[in-house]
Amino acid sequence: MKSFLIFGAIIGFLFVFVKRIQSKGEKDMVKQWIQNGAVVVDVRTQSEFAEGHYSSAMNIPVDVLPSQINRLKDKGAKIIVYCRSGARSERAKQILQASGYSSVLNAGGLSDMP
């Protein structure tokens, strides 16, 4: 039983360590894409956007994204999506990729933006 607990603790530590490395890499990629002119899309509601948003972001709530997808003209452009926690932006990423947008990155929440 003791060895099982030690093994579980080691696996847990490795999981957290790997997630931190991935998170740092993703944050670095978001920053690099923004520096290179990526389109930043806030997929939260209009009222959430009005309360505060990333400075260069456009607001297209995920619920209306399919009907307003034409606002994102270049399907080859790098697009960064974010919301409050990352769940809606993941859904937006899937919608965009299914519509032919090839370079979409889920940045997570507004607090994760550089």
Contact 58, 40 (CB under 8 A): yes
pLDDT, one tens digit per residue, over 81-110 is 999 999 999 999 999 999 999 999 999 999
pLDDT of residue 72: 96
Which residue pairs, CB below 8 angstroms and at least 24 apart, start in 52-57?
A: 52/110, 53/110, 54/82, 54/110, 54/113, 57/82
pLDDT of residue 22: 42
1-112 has which CATH code? Answer: 3.40.250.10
pLDDT of residue 25: 74
Strand partners, 66: none
pLDDT of residue 27: 87
**Is residue 79 pLDDT above 80, yes or no?**
yes
**Closest to 91 in 3D by CA, of 44, 50, 52:** 44
Q: Domain map of the chain by residue range? A: 1-112
pLDDT, one tens digit per residue, over 37-55 is 999 999 999 999 999 999 9
Residue positions annotated with a catalytic role: 83
**Is residue 21 pLDDT above 50, yes or no?**
no
**Is residue 17 pLDDT above 80, yes or no?**
no
End-to-end CA distance of the chain: 44
